[in-house]
Amino acid sequence: MKKRHLALTLTVLAVTAFFLFNLCISSTPEWDEFENKKFNDLFVTIDYTDYIRENVSFDSIDLRIITIRKGDNFWKIARKYGVNIDTLIGANPLWDSLVAREEQSIVVPSENGAMHFIQSFSEIDTLPELYSTEKEKIVIQDLPPLYRIYRAFAEEKKPVAVFIRGAKPLPGKMADKLALQYELREKFRSPLGGRFTSFFGQRNHPIFRIRSFHNGIDIAAPTGTYVGAARAGRVIGTGWMGGYGKAVIVQHDNGFKTLYGHLSRICTANGRTVKAGSLIGRVGSTGFSTGPHLHFTLWQHGKLINPMKVLW
């Protein structure tokens, strides 16, 4: 008799749990534009990094909270902690700029991937297609036991964090200003793989030892390394270009123009049409240079643009 009573009780509990589980899935609206606004509004009075520190953790992924110090930039932080810039953007969805500020706190995951916030657990099934990945790479934040049941009746439903291993962030989950930069970046590719050694802006000139404006970025790589066009276009300049040494200039659509300097060898010619990634030269140290590297400058309609806006 006792066994039958126990079995009946367990059956009722199981049916109730199943009902409540489905209720909590179906009763929460999908994350749409309204939910995105609610997500942003949540951090009007609450600091995002404090929220992550106090509410979000993963079993197999660490989330560090890093404070920006003088001389830091997001690329240096990414390199220091072994992740890419996409990962930092995905973990900090409220950024509206890629200019780091002193004393700014940021979230740095322990591996590459994208952070995504959901309002409904049913959204998880849509993420593999959304991020072009496998379901096994999706990790849900640590949650208390029976949280889904609790959530079905809670008045205030905090967003749940999901980490998609190896994925890039979605422009639709970024601040509008940064989303525009991100979409621009997708139209370019890096002219070579290498280490950034000097950035756009004021710097101490490595040869003349004076403070001066650096109109591009320097990417260090061994002599002879393949240099490819950052975007499809037409070659409009080749040859010796003063301090840039042997250099190539490519005109692209939408008013963009790129320069590739300090080459050891030029592998293209004026008037030639090139595709993104087409060989245009080899890394060298010609002109005013202290070692083998590529100097890369970017313009749009004659105005200088920080190349880091497109070479992340």
- CATH number, position 225: 2.70.70.10
Distance CA 252, CA 117 (A): 37
Please state whether beta strands 279-283 and 113-118 pair in parallel, antiparallel, or not at all (unpaired). unpaired
Whether 42 and 102 map to the same domain: the answer is yes
How many domains is the chain built from?
2
**Measuring CA to CA, which residue among 191, 207, 189, 206 is closest to residue 295?**
191
Q: What is the pLDDT of residue 311?
A: 76
Q: What is the pLDDT of residue 150?
A: 73
Q: What is the pLDDT of residue 300?
A: 94
Whether 219 and 123 map to the same domain: the answer is no
pTM greater than 0.75: no
Q: What is the pLDDT of residue 37?
A: 57
* Residue 190 is assigned to a structural domain of this protein: no
Distance of CA 149 to the CA centre of its chain: 34
Whether 171 and 262 map to the same domain: the answer is no
* Residue 276 is assigned to a structural domain of this protein: yes
Question: 3-state DSSP: the chain helix, strand, coil percent, rounded to 5?
Answer: 35, 30, 40
Q: Over its length of 312 residues, how does the chain's per-residue pLDDT go in tens digits?
A: 544 555 555 554 544 544 444 434 333 344 455 455 556 666 776 889 999 999 999 999 999 999 999 888 898 899 899 999 999 999 999 998 888 999 999 999 999 999 999 888 889 999 999 999 999 999 999 998 887 777 777 777 788 999 999 999 998 888 888 888 888 888 898 899 888 888 888 877 776 677 889 899 999 999 999 999 999 999 999 999 999 999 999 999 999 999 999 999 999 999 999 999 999 999 999 999 989 999 999 999 999 999 988 875
Domain that holds residue 216: 195-309
Sorted by sequence, the CB contacts under 8 Å of residue 285 that are 6+ apart come out as 223, 245, 262, 264, 291, 292, 293
Q: What is the pLDDT of residue 25?
A: 37
DSSP string, 57-109: --SS--EEEEE--TT--HHHHHHHTT--HHHHHHH-TT---S---TT-EEEEE
Task: For residue 162, count CB atoms less than 10 angstroms from its CB and return exposed for 0-12, middle for 13-18, buried for 19 or more.
Answer: buried
Last residue of some domain: 151, 185, 219? 185
Sorted by sequence, the CB contacts under 8 Å of residue 13 that are 6+ apart come out as none
Whether 12 and 155 map to the same domain: the answer is yes
Whether 30 and 115 map to the same domain: the answer is yes
Q: What is the pLDDT of residue 185?
A: 82
Last residue of some domain: 185, 203, 235? 185
Q: What is the pLDDT of residue 61?
A: 96
- 1 in helix, strand or coil? coil
Whether 159 and 232 map to the same domain: the answer is no
Whether 37 and 98 map to the same domain: the answer is yes
Distance of CA 308 to the CA centre of its chain: 12
**Bridge partners for 118 per DSSP:** 160
Whether 32 and 62 map to the same domain: the answer is yes
Q: What is the pLDDT of residue 23?
A: 39
Whether 78 and 53 map to the same domain: the answer is yes
